[in-house]
Structure 1
Amino acid sequence: MTDPTIGVTFRPQSPPEALRDVALAAEAAGVAQLWLWEDCFCEGGLTSATAALAATERLHVAVGLLPVPLRNPALAAMEIATVARMFPGRFLPGLGHGVLEWMEQVGARAASPLTLLREYTAAVRDLLHGRTVDIEGRYVRLREVALDWPPEPPPPLLVGGRGPKTVALAGELADGVILDSALSLDQIREGVANAAAGRAAAGRAAEPFDTVVFVEVDPGADDLEARIDSAITTLAGIGADTVVFHPTGQAPDPLPLIASCAKRE
């Protein structure tokens, strides 16, 4: 069993102007990844990711996740490609349903979120790989669309989800899956298995795949370092390739988590 990659989340409950200092602190501490969330109606995931990447030199920055109803897939691919080309090898975009109540609030909720995610993920991944996409789906309709500036190499495209069908779709179509902190350990085990089943069904079992697991931790806990160590050991044992710690919404400052992760190195 290899040690998982470690990340910390900058929650959107923190003001955007605090992001630069957090990104610099994460890089200085040797934290491998800084994760961002595109929660409605807080901070844009792609603009925030670009700012964090521009402020740093080695830090990998991920967005987990971009709600697919909010952007045309051609626009999403253009934006992801632009960021990936400017900061090669350092950007990790994730796609997902988004919070359905928020999608309803902005008039973008799909009758079949899974169908939308399937069509969208396939189209965006093909575009990022330099392919011409011609699709007339239920939700995604593109006519001979190709990126003028596809990224080389294309960034891994992740899909976040909780339900078994969404997680299996991640295994089938994406380069990784994001499992959030609302899931129990048993549900994470099931998610790992469902993603593996999706990969096997698509004939992709031998391809690289990143299983990302989010963990919520109170940054004010007295035993913070022990909690982090325990979570890493437990989650690595059930199939996590990447473990991402995020603070609570009531105490969103990630700096204590960054400092605790640094002490492990």
Structure 2
Amino acid sequence: MTGLGAVFRPQLPPERLRALARLADESGLEELWLWEDCFLEGGVSAMAAALAWTERLRVGIGLLPVPLRNVAVTAMEAATLERMFPGRAILGVGHGVQSWMGQVGARAESPLTLLREYLDALRALLRGERVTTHGRYVRLDGVALDWPPAEPVRVLAGATGPRSLRLSGEAADGTILTAATTPEGVRRARDLIDEGRASAGRTGPHHVVVQLLTATGPDAAARLEAELAAQGPGSVPGLGVAGDASAVAKAVRRLAEAGADTVVLQPTGDEPDPEGFVRFAAGEVRPLVP
């Protein structure tokens, strides 16, 4: 079955999260995703609150920028959340927006090297291993978690370019693709991910999450067009969807057929009714997605 979720965009104030998380939980939506965009809202604090306010909802961070966070701290946070809310926290990490990383003095000369070192160390720590590594960016000396997760934690990597997609296949347990990804883009991403998996001899499942820019309601087409224009892709065929539940479900199915395991509906930044959007995703779109 194709997973379905929705994004709580950080353009909403943090105090709105409680009501939306509870609504997503009660309405039967599987996943709610958060962003740690600079300089809006903290991803880990928001995730912990959303998990505490709900009973069954899975909550994802898409994504934590690795230049901002020491890998041991990320492992501690992830392990704590997994032990308190087993199987409900979804961890995504990635390069981060390079201009933002530069603003805070954390920009890496080689983001790809940093992400590779980070993924290797993070996954080892979350497996309960004692890690010593002296990489270009990640340096640990006999570090191990006192409270490792009872079960393995899946680590997803945000990736866009060919090299980062291959790296995700090699070193991550899944990949997060942005809303600028068409169905054909998902197919190309899957091919590159599989190249990385093959080079690393990895045979287990690799979960692909794709965000889908979605607008519904009487002014849906105009809001979608404006957001696409603001982001840069413009009128790329197959990018984003505006319309009723049938149109959105059709777009979700196209992404799933292309290789997406989970599709996360991303409202426009000016979505007038975030609660209504969650109800729409859970009550109207979900029944139409196998």
TM-score category, normalised to shorter length: over 0.9
- Secondary structure at the aligned position of 2:215 is classed as coil
The 5 A counterparts of 1:122-133 are 122-133=120-131
**Partner in structure 2 of residue 163 of structure 1:** 161
Cα deviation for residue 167 of structure 1 reads 1.1
Correspondent of 1:208 among 181, 187, 205: 205
Correspondent of 1:258 among 278, 284, 290: 278
**Partner in structure 1 of residue 16 of structure 2:** 18
Correspondent of 1:246 among 252, 257, 266: 266
Name the CA distance, whole Å, in 1 between partners of 2:88 and 2:124.
Answer: 20
- Secondary structure at the aligned position of 2:175 is classed as strand
Name the CA distance, whole Å, in 2 between partners of 1:213 and 1:160.
Answer: 10
**CA separation of 1:85 and 1:259: change in aligned 2, threshold 3 A:** same
Unaligned residue ranges in structure 1 (runs of 5+): none
**Partner in structure 2 of residue 60 of structure 1:** 58
Q: Which amino acid aligns with 2:274?
A: P
- Secondary structure at the aligned position of 1:158 is classed as strand
Unaligned residue ranges in structure 2 (runs of 5+): 221-241
Correspondent of 1:88 among 70, 86, 89: 86
Q: Identity percentage over the alignment?
A: 52
- Secondary structure at the aligned position of 1:65 is classed as strand
The 5 A counterparts of 1:125-204 are 125-204=123-202
Cα deviation for residue 216 of structure 1 reads 0.7
Aligned residues: 262
Q: Which runs of 4+ in 1 moved over 4 A?
A: none
Q: Which amino acid aligns with 1:208?
A: P
Contact 1:160 1:177 in 2 (8 A): yes
Cα deviation for residue 252 of structure 1 reads 7.0
**Partner in structure 2 of residue 231 of structure 1:** 251
TM-score with structure 1 length normalisation? 0.95
Contact 1:9 1:254 in 2 (8 A): no
For 1:17-72, what per-residue CA distance to the aligned partner results, in whole angstroms no more than 9, with x for missing partners? 11011011111111100000000001100000000000001000000000000011
For 1:98-121, what per-residue CA distance to the aligned partner results, in whole angstroms no more than 9, with x for missing partners? 110000000000000000000001
